[in-house]
Amino acid sequence: MKSVSEGAKGYRRLIPSLTALVEFEAVARLSSFTRAANELGVTQAAVSRQVRCLEVSLGVRLFHRLHRSIRLTGEGEALYLVVAESMQRIAGVYDRLSDGSAEQELVLATTAAFSHFRVLPRLAELKRLQPQLKLRLTTQMFTADLRHNEVDIAVRYGNGKWRDGTASLLFDEEVFPVCSPAWSQANGAPQSLAELTKTQLIDSDSTSEGWLDWETWFQALGARPSRLQYELRCTLYTDAIQAALHDQGVALGWHRLLSDLLDSGELVRLTQASVKVSDAYYVVIPHGRTITPTTNRVIEWLRGSATLS
């Protein structure tokens, strides 16, 4: 049986420089030699030299060096995934050993709408079932590169194909008109799509690829309204729903987001017209993050389909 010292010599033979791997990881994560140097407290030339030595020792190119940017090669992507995961595990063990705390903090990144309508109403259940978990919510208006953020779990809407993490389906989605019960009682339900175009519509700006606005929603159902008259336009979807709750008109309801408001009767579905979108909600685990039992339980809680114990 080999001794520990013999094993260490073997690793040093295969991995000539751990410093080079640390600096490579920073460059790959930040997509910049300059930012990596600033983070590590060394010069850009030193970082470039370490990465170049790593490429020479491996006999492969790790980055495409473009005019004003860099991009990982296929070999660089493979090395980055392994190095980032290994460093994350080391950092996690170090944190647990150094502070001696039983508390766990998990960083969850979502859109403001998902956090407002889906996460916060269920937060008491998560705290009851996972009392040691410390949750930090971070809101992203647009899809940010997870390699540049300290995120454990991200919730995204799209096709599930992202290069900065591993995606797992949460649930699909459908979109239909919603309003308050008072507005429905006062105005009645439209009998056709043409009649719906003439109601008090509340719109919000699209902030994600595939996020429907009223015009796109009508087109998906084969309607081509010449011009829509909006009662109110909002930058944020949360504001559009708040306006609908306060009897200001009809908003597009994303069923999975608004299920609590629909179940409670605070919002009602105005018509049976509905668009089942091809994209869906996914949880994305950044490359390099270890999927722990706690991570899996939080994902099941996000799905709302499991009892946490």
Domain ranges of the chain: 4-97, 104-172+280-303, 174-276
- Tens digit of pLDDT for each residue in 56-71? 988 899 999 888 889 9
Please tell me the total number of residues recorded for the chain in this structure: 309
Q: Does the structure show a pLDDT above 70 at 130?
A: yes
Tell me what percent of the residues of the chain surpass a pLDDT of 70.
84
pLDDT of the residue at 92: 63
Contact indicator for 287, 197 with CB cutoff of 8 Å: no
- Tens digit of pLDDT for each residue in 167-216? 999 999 999 999 999 999 999 999 999 999 999 999 998 765 567 889 99
Give the right CATH number for 4-97 from 1.10.10.10, 2.30.40.10, 1.20.1250.20, 3.40.50.720.
1.10.10.10
CB atoms within 10 A of CB 265: 9
104-172+280-303 CATH fold? D-Maltodextrin-Binding Protein; domain 2 (3.40.190)
- What dotted CATH number matches 174-276? 3.40.190.10
Average pLDDT for the chain: 84
CA atoms of 197 and 178, how far apart (whole Å): 14
The whole-number average pLDDT for the span 227-231 is 87
Are 104-172+280-303 and 174-276 equal in CATH topology? Answer: yes
